[in-house]
Amino acid sequence: MDIHDYLKNGICMAPGGGRTDRMSGGRLKPYFAAETRRYVADRARYAHNFYEAEIQGMDREHPMEKKWYRIRVADIITNAVVGANMYDGWKTVYFEDPTVEELPRGAKLWFAGSCWLSVNPANIGGVMVSGIIRQCDAVWGKLDYYGNPVYVPFVRDKLATKANDNQTQQYTLIAQHYNNCLMGRDDLSRDLRENTRMILGSSAYTVAGLNDSARDFTDNPDSVGILYFTIYRQEPTENDDMERGIAEGKAFSWEITVSGPRRLAEGGTAQLTADSLRCGMAPERPASYLWESSDFDVLTVDETGRVQAIGPGTAVITCRLAQNPDIFQTTVMEVEADRNVPHIAFLDTVPAELAQYQDLTLRAAVFEDGVPVNDPVEFHVKGPDPSCYEIIPGFGSITLRCLFPSRTPLEITAESGAHSVTTEITLRGF
């Protein structure tokens, strides 16, 4: 077969099998296309610039989905697209997987410590998918509906002449800091608008000249992959959250109010309810809550906010916004001992400290139905060196005398049968 026969066969190629989406449907496969792809699949792993990259936006039906791919990146040298030698900020990317049919414009690639944006893919002109990607050097910080910080990476050009906002000042007032920008269009960036403000470093910037209509497929309005816009510098305002890099971040508020009793009897239950105000108004989107107790020996709380009083004491109930756990409200609740349950208690107020050469008498008794009974009570003392204190036992009481100060607190326990109560006192010097 001579060269003319090969050319005829090439012209008469049938449409390629496999995917039939907008990018690959009806494409004619040249000879050795499969072999060429297989060559890259077999040898890309040996390149020094071979990476595993997490890529978002490879599936147009699920643009926020991320998957891992093995890629090779190469420097761009005198590329017709950029018109100059480009190095670390610009790369050409190739895929090891021969079944990859498209690198969508606006896809984001995470590798080599940075996020990269697909700005000029080559999905049609060759047998292998490749494209030009650019390193994102800035992020647009904003808050989602529930106040969670969200950071959207994008690319800036530093040349004022590349700005697309046609204002004379951009060429005469260099301090205005005009930058031409590219940002992938997805669920996180769809709300970018003309005059949107953003914080970059120590300055505020405003969006101008937004182009959100550049389609990848002429008849598909949802195929816009990249947003093109200009930003120009302005002074920050008092509501800008410079620490987190979020414009108007300090103007956002979300307040939770917890309703319900603050005191329960031991063994009792109560229902706590939570309501929210977002920036002073009832939220339009659903809000759910997470409940926590600081002391399960005092109070427990379930996922609905229902509390159960376990034992006497004080506990803090925390109600968190499930959609943003950094937003929360705390409620202090007290559980009172059930006077009808037999228990032992000190009859005297126990001080936190006992001064040197001072005496303290503590009494304790067992209570039944809220009334003290004459059950015998024993006292046990431990903690500091015995030379630091003196004990004088009595009937249902104990007298303590501080002889020397101690950093170890004195622990006094009163016991009667199965009941006990413990307290601590610090021995203090002059």
pLDDT at res. 40 = 73
What parts of the chain have a pLDDT lower than 70? Answer: 1-32, 77-87, 125-126, 158-176, 339-341, 430
Q: Is the dihedral of CA 351, 354, 360, 366 positive or negative?
A: positive
Radius of gyration of the chain (CA): 36
pLDDT digits (tens, 9 = 90+) for 152-172: 999 997 654 444 455 545 444
Whether this model's pTM surpasses 0.85: no
pLDDT digits (tens, 9 = 90+) for 52-91: 999 999 998 899 999 999 998 888 765 545 555 456 788 9
Which phi and psi angles does 269 have, rounded to 5°?
A: -130, 160
CA dihedral 112, 118, 122, 123 (to 10 degrees): 110
pLDDT at res. 8 = 37
Contacting residues for 102 by C-beta, under 8 A, at least 6 apart = 21, 23, 24, 58, 121, 123, 129
Q: Are 91 and 132 in contact (CB under 8 A)?
A: yes
**CA atoms of 417 and 368, how far apart (whole Å):** 13
